[in-house]
Structure 1
């Protein structure tokens, strides 16, 4: 009988972890048509800093609203056409292979302006004790 309890406990534990992750994501990260896939997260040599890599997929016409990060963001566009609106700069549309650097705390937004799913690899160098993303009204 004990051998049946272990698989059930694993399923329950996995479901609990998934539920906690979904409930703790910022509301902006759950925007319809936006898929954020966490790829890796590692401590850095600098105290209280970490590197985080996320793949972000935007459905056609979908925008990811204005937000900031508690550190730098380095973007590499994987596919599609994404318009970036970075505070203090004119909007720019980037395609596959293009890159963009966003300084810490800078308000910015992104929108898929193409007809196919657009994807980016976002690398963040951020403070560990702060939310990765903060929506801006």
Structure 2
């Protein structure tokens, strides 16, 4: 059973709106409709690739979105039209695929983006941390540092 998540749209000062899409077909259709040339869509698609993810990415690409794909070494079908493909090995010690290397790629990309933004990026991350610390309730002060 999938946990229900509401799609979220937010706008940060100096940044374009960001939208997290769930499996709701109406929300996905709205996202495709709202897509403009030059928008960036970050797509995560790993082995046992999902047809709906591939189709959504293709529709966004057809509307002019730049597709950034996180996938495994076998490459999602989205790789055919993605502008950037970040592949990670998903082999792990268990019988199941591991997404730990994929998370490392996400962290590396975020770190590179903050670095590229320079002091503005560093200030934003610092301010975000300060605000997040203030809204966390119920934790002892020493844990919240």
Give the TM-score, by structure 1 length: 0.26
Q: Which has the higher strand share?
A: 1
* Structure (1 or 2) with the greater helix fraction: 2
| Higher RCO (CA < 8 A, seq sep 6+) | 1
TM-score for both structures, normalised by structure 2: 0.25
